[in-house]
Amino acid sequence: MVLRVAVVGAGAAGMSAASRVKRLLRDKAEVVVFEKSGWVSFALCGTPYYLGCRVKRLEELLYYSPEEFTKKRGIKINLYTEVVDVEADARRIRYRTRSGEEGVYEYDYLVLATGAKPRVPREWLMYKNVFALHSLDEADAIRKYVVDNSVKRVAVIGGGYTGIEAADNIAELGREVVLIHSRDHLANKVLDPEMAEVVEEKARSRGVELVLGKRAVSIEGDGGVARRVVLEGGDSVEADAFIVSPGIVPDTALAEKAGLRIGETGAIWTDERMRTSNEYIYAIGDAVETRDIITGGRVWWPFAPAANKQGYVAGTNIAGGDAVFPGVLRSSAFGAFGLYVAATGLREEEASRYGFKPVAATLTARTKAHYFGGGPEIRLKVIADEETGRLLGAQAVSEDASAFWRVNVVAALIWGHGTVWDLFSYDISYWPGANPVWDPIVVAARLLLRHFAKRPWKTLN
């Protein structure tokens, strides 16, 4: 008997699940993917770099071509096909093609990889020069408008990762850019204020105008063309084009139609095997919530590394295996304005909110030995719990890419419930052309140890 598996969504998570089922079951499984766009296995995180023409063609943002899946892996893919309903009791889905043709597919298992959708007022997008940035097609439309029309001034609304990287890439094209963010600091969901200030200072030095702490309330225009964005308090910002990236929300429409449990975060609830409240339906990627490794609570963390792993886990379990996705530390990174930015775990304010007693070490240091020129500076922050010494988070900003690996070292220790003493003792490799003998993360550990007894290894759990 052939196992019939339907996958809704051909992004990285959906194709990860589809590929895993086929690898394990081969001809014993029929895997059919439904995707409402014309793209498969696409990298949305690369779209800001397409805006800046660093990525030349949209096709470069595909991890694999459709033929890789259809011809080599035996996966059936239906592009420009939208699943409009899930009849969970009957175990079937209803879909509609771009031409209007409707159909039904009966499944043994269903995987929802419906992703997230931009949080953009619909009326704003009625103007021809206002764009969301949450698909390859939207990225293409923005580049054609901004580049081909030689647009002079662009307003980017939203100071999260996508907004920051979009602003950076468009500024690199020589356009005037104003970045509007409702919070007092950029990237406020992952960086503490003193770390975000480094990014903001560099953005301004690159000519990007920042408008912080003011929410965009409307966009005004005439003749189908937007002219200005109106801010809270009555101020306005004029521009020739507008990119709206104020955030995303999980796309749970099909899950709700299927009667699935929606979690406390507003995303689809799943267990650690990526199974929903219906035993025949799995959910993965940006549409689902997961577990925060540090707090133990539920969290929505829509990032590609987690989504890919969730797809792998779901596919393994559907094929009869036994795999779990334990959760996330919320590790993330981005690059903009010549900086590498990385973070993991809790911010200092978050740690307090979750009941910890945080202590932090924040320092500025060189990334290489002095006789190798010292290298670029790194701004590094490490956070721990004063009562137990447990590591809780880290943030790094630098012109040197080592910001990534230093944060990843801390992330690895947090994953294993490591302490400040573990960070001090950790056997980090050393070469003067890559780091000083007292690496910045070890120095951070030394600074944190001042909060503990003279024999901290006896104090920390």
Residues annotated catalytic, as ranges: 45
Asked if 398 and 367 count as a contact pair (C-beta separation under 8 A), the reply is: yes
Q: Is 373 exposed, middle or buried (0-12, 13-18, 19+ CB in 10 A)?
A: exposed
- Distances in Å between the Cα of 249 and the Cα atoms of 137, 298, 358 are 19, 16, 30
Provide the 3-class DSSP secondary structure of residue 230: strand
| Beta bridge partner(s), residue 106 | 92
Which amino acid type is present at position 234?
G
Residue the block writes with tokens 């892996």: 73
Residue type, 306: A
In whole angstroms, give the CA distance from residue 327 to residue 352.
21
End-to-end CA distance of the chain: 53
3-state DSSP assignment of residue 354: coil
Strand bridging mode 76-78 / 29-34: parallel
CA-to-CA distance for 326 and 341, rounded, in angstroms?
25
Q: How far apart are CA 286 and CA 370, in angstroms?
A: 44
Q: Give the Cα separation of 332 and 343 in Å (integer).
A: 6
